[in-house]
Amino acid sequence: MFYELLPRLADVHGVFNVFVYISFRAAGAVVTSLVFAFAFGPMVIRRLHLANVGQVVRDIGPESHLVKSGTPTMGGLIIIGAATASTLLWARLDNWYTIIAVVSLLWMGSIGFLDDYLKVVQGKTRGLVARYKMIGQWTFGLGLGAVLLWQPISSHPTTWTSVPFFSDLAAAFAAPVFILFTGAVVSGTSNAVNLTDGLDGLAAGLTAICASTLGVFAYIAGRTDMSRYLGFFYLEGAGELSVFAVALAGAALGFLWFNSHPAEVFMGDTGSLALGGALGVMAILLKAEFLLVIVGGVFVLETLSVIVQRGWFKYTKHRFGEGRRVFRMAPIHHHFEKLGWSESKVVVRFWIVGVLFAMIAVSTLKIR
- How far apart are the C-alpha atoms of 239 and 242, rounded to whole Å? 6
Residue type, 338: K
pTM, 2 dp: 0.94
| pLDDT per position as a tens digit, 45-70 | 999 988 887 776 665 566 667 677 77
Containing H/E element for 99? Answer: helix 96-116
Please, which pLDDT band fits residue 273 given cuts at 50, 70 and 90? very high
Task: Please compute the mean of the pLDDT values over residues 25-36 and round it to a whole number.
Answer: 96
Is the pLDDT score of 2 beyond 90? Answer: no
CB atoms inside a 10 Å sphere around CB 8: 10
| pLDDT per position as a tens digit, 204-220 | 999 999 999 999 999 99
Q: Which of 230, 237, 293, 209 is nearest to 101 (CA)?
A: 237
Domain boundaries, the chain: 21-293
Task: Please compute the mean of the pLDDT values over residues 7-17 and round it to a whole number.
Answer: 58
Please, which pLDDT band fits residue 118 given cuts at 50, 70 and 90? confident
H helix and E strand count, the chain: 14, 2
- Cα dihedral value 191, 50, 59, 276, nearest 10: 10
- Low-confidence winner among 4-8, 65-69, 176-180 (lowest mean pLDDT): 4-8
- How far apart are the C-alpha atoms of 133 and 270, rounded to whole Å? 12
| pLDDT per position as a tens digit, 291-330 | 999 999 999 999 999 999 999 999 999 888 888 999 999 9
- How far apart are the C-alpha atoms of 338 and 329, rounded to whole Å? 7
